[in-house]
Amino acid sequence: MFGAALRLLAVGEAGRRLGDYARNLTKRYLMLGIAGIPFVAATAFGILAAFWALNSRIQDPIWAAVIMVGILVLVGLLIVLIAYGTTREETPSARQALTQPIRAVQGQFPTTDDVGRQIERAVQLYGPVRVATAAAAGGLLAGLLAKKFRQV
């Protein structure tokens, strides 16, 4: 991983990619912030209008405030439950494992980045010649086993 970062720095690619990433991220959150301002204003206006309507109905501002707090707590709890339900990781079922085997074991296999990090660590620990020799021996053994069991 460190070697890949050095290669990107040597080419001058890392600074450009990081700058593009920061620019895109800033632009995205700035647009979301600007779009959120009218939503926050409308929400505040709606809460005030509901409070005034409730206060004019029961003629007691303290009870109206208590009722509004209760309503806002319930709405907040509802939002939290909906957010939890939509972002929770779905556990694979037995039927899904039979119909979509790749999706069922998706998080259980190492990615190519993980394998690359393991190879880089082995090269650091044992040296490139030993690692290349072990890889060649493993490939030769796999080829002999495949030939013995008539897989090739």
Helix then strand then coil, in percent of the chain rounded to 5, is 85, 0, 15
What are the distances in angstroms from CA 59 to CA 1, 62, 104, 130?
68, 9, 59, 85
Record the pTM: 0.42
What is the per-residue pLDDT for 70? 94
Q: What is the mean pLDDT of each run of 10 residues along the chain (152 residues)?
A: 53 61 81 88 91 91 92 92 78 66 66 82 87 84 82 60
Residue-range domain boundaries for the chain: 1-81, 116-152
What is the per-residue pLDDT for 90? 66
CA 75/CA 145 separation, integer angstroms: 63
What is the per-residue pLDDT for 21? 75
Count of positions (residues) in the chain: 152
CA 103/CA 43 separation, integer angstroms: 41
What are the distances in angstroms from CA 58 to CA 49, 54, 72?
14, 6, 18
